[in-house]
Amino acid sequence: MNVRGFLDEAKSGKVSIEESTYRILEEAEKINKEYNYFNVISKDYALKSAKELDKKLKKGFKGRLAGLPISVKDSICVRGVESSAGSKILKGYVPLFNATAVQKAIDEGAIVIGKTSQDEFGFGGFSTNAGIGFKIPKNPFDKERATGGSSGGCAGFSSITKFPHVSLGESTGGSIVNPAAFCGVSGLSPTYGSVSRYGIIDYGNSLDKIGPIAKTVEDCELMFDVISGYDSKDSTSSKEGLHKDDKIKRVGIIKESLNVDPEVKEVIEKTINNLGFDYEYVSLPVSMNYGIQTYYIIAPSEASTNLAKYCGMRYGAEEELEGNFNEYFTKVRTNNFGKEVKRRILIGTFARMAGFRDAYYLKALKVRTLIIEEYKKAFKKFDVLVSPTVPILPPKFSEINKLSIMQNYMIDVLTVSPNLAGLPHLSINAGFSKKLPVGIMFTANHFEEKKLFTAGKKAESVR
């Protein structure tokens, strides 16, 4: 049963929410032993919520998500459920509040079944940078391969579950669309500011976004309609509403983005030719050639600032009190942060130090402006831009272990620039190569998510 069908039956009273929630929880527990998609399965919390919802439905409750099981990335706060961002330093943290996006979903009847696995604090493109003591999620099509990152658990479970389900992911440089592509599902990274950031465990303040991951574009659209909108709790939340125009007259194919693996290029070009849109190629040299360098200065700079609070005094894990503050601070962070977290803190701290700030951080901000201007120029001519989501098929863990740091970072080469520009982008499954999914990504101008849904549904219909 699809999500719409399930919701219709739930509202009509034909489905017991408690019973359906129990079944997906059983499935989640079984799958998790094999695939590691959850850091926490909130069984008691979910069943209690389902029982209460059954009573509300009998009294006429008509929530748009009534009874829908959802999972939430571990970097998004859920009241009463451990939320650690996949890091040992936050192990045991139980928020006293819901993220606004989570609260909006719950208000419409969604049932949170658990917190999904991820790269620690979102630092990665494969979900292999799990925090100390956390497990790495496995691709639903091949357990020897990665799910993509950093919302790997969200995409993996959304792909494999047999039940109606939508997941709330979080993206900084591609962490929604990347795993959606690797796991063969749909993922929307919305316009920056269109969904409240309140309740995110921060990575990069100017980049972080919450968005849905689901089996279909329609399911993503449904969840986005629920969670989007202005929030007074979030200073970055926008009051500008979504543009109503959903028509697509001309599509631009990003020329540089087709320099990818032949297997990926073949599937993408076949999908483009089947779409039926008028298209031509467009060059985005700044975005495609300098996006990675720009992102890996700005994002770590913001991350190093955000993570400074985890020092074991007010926030984060505690160690035995000994030595001076710097010694204690160092011990807490050494023992509880993973290798990639430490690396990005060092990069970010260096980039914004006196003497280097002008040479690196401020220059990166100027390039970011050029990237935004380049996209804006393209959108004067095109309604939607198209590219592969990631340049390769889902790699094996053994292959990832042989990659250099730079090769690891290059997995985001096609996704960082839309995030730097705050643009909405949608990845859907374009087809398969060697029995592995290939993602195609549509990018639109700010607040033009409706055009993405039009393009995505069309691509689904010709797959």
Residues serving a catalytic function are 73, 150, 175
How many other C-beta atoms lie within 10 A of the C-beta of residue 442? 28
- Residue 135: CA count within 13 A, CB half-sphere: 13
The contacts of residue 194 (CB under 8 Å, 6+ apart) are 228, 229, 238, 242, 424, 447, 449
Q: Locate 358 and state its tokens.
A: 């002008």
For residue 265, which of 391, 180, 172 has the smallest C-alpha distance?
391
449, 454, 460, 463: CA torsion to nearest 10: -120
CA distance 371 to 185: 28
For residue 94, which of 77, 109, 82, 106 has the smallest C-alpha distance?
82
CA 244 to chain CA centroid, Å, is 24
Integer angstrom CA distances of residue 365 from 203, 368, 372: 17, 5, 11
For residue 319, which of 332, 306, 334 has the smallest C-alpha distance?
332
The contacts of residue 79 (CB under 8 Å, 6+ apart) are 95, 96, 97, 98
The contacts of residue 223 (CB under 8 Å, 6+ apart) are 65, 70, 105, 166, 168, 212, 214
CA distance 390 to 183: 12
CA distance 75 to 427: 21
3-state SS of 361-386? HHHHHHHHHHHHHHHHHHHCCCCEEE
Residue reference for tokens 């955000």: 306
Write down the number of H helices and E strands in the chain. 16, 11
Q: DSSP strand E in 9-150: where? A: 38-41, 69-73, 111-116
Judged by DSSP in three states, 432 sits in strand
191, 194, 197, 202: CA torsion to nearest 10: 10
Ordered alpha helix ranges (H), 59-120: 100-107
For residue 224, which of 379, 462, 447 has the smallest C-alpha distance?
447
